[in-house]
């Protein structure tokens, strides 16, 4: 799972990185954590306030420090396999 923390490196951005690392470790998850500080790159996500968090290409948070509970939800949602669909059987 790829997790990007978007921000210029301010205290809130650093704290967000730490929270993501702590939650991943506490839940035994292996993540590819990338810190994106390049403003033009950040803007490609349409994010206007930082820190922001992107999980597998989807912006899940922008502005302010997310809670550990929210981070845990994002990471759990990204690791869950899609539910198997069962097609109705024609003959029984």
Whole-structure pTM over 0.85, yes or no?
Answer: no
Question: Exposed/middle/buried for 44, CB within 10 Å: 0-12, 13-18, 19+?
Answer: exposed
Task: For 1-40, write each residue's pLDDT tens digit.
Answer: 999 999 999 999 999 999 999 999 999 999 999 999 999 9
Q: Which domains does the chain have, with CATH numbers?
A: 2-79 (3.40.30.10)
Residue 53: the pLDDT is 98
Helix (H) or strand (E) holding 12: helix 11-26
Query: Do 67 and 75 meet the contact criterion of CB atoms below 8 Å apart?
Result: no
Chain Cα centroid distance, residue 44: 16
């Amino acid at each position: 799972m790829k997790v990007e923390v978007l921000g210029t490196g301010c205290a809130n951005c650093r704290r967000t990185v730490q929270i993501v690392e702590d939650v991943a470790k506490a839940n035994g998850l292996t993540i590819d954590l990338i810190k994106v500080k390049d403003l033009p790159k950040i803007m490609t996500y349409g994010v206007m306030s930082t820190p922001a968090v992107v999980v597998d290409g989807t912006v899940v948070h922008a502005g302010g420090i997310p809670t550990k509970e929210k981070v845990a939800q994002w990471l759990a949602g990204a690791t869950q396999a899609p539910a198997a669909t069962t097609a109705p059987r024609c003959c029984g």
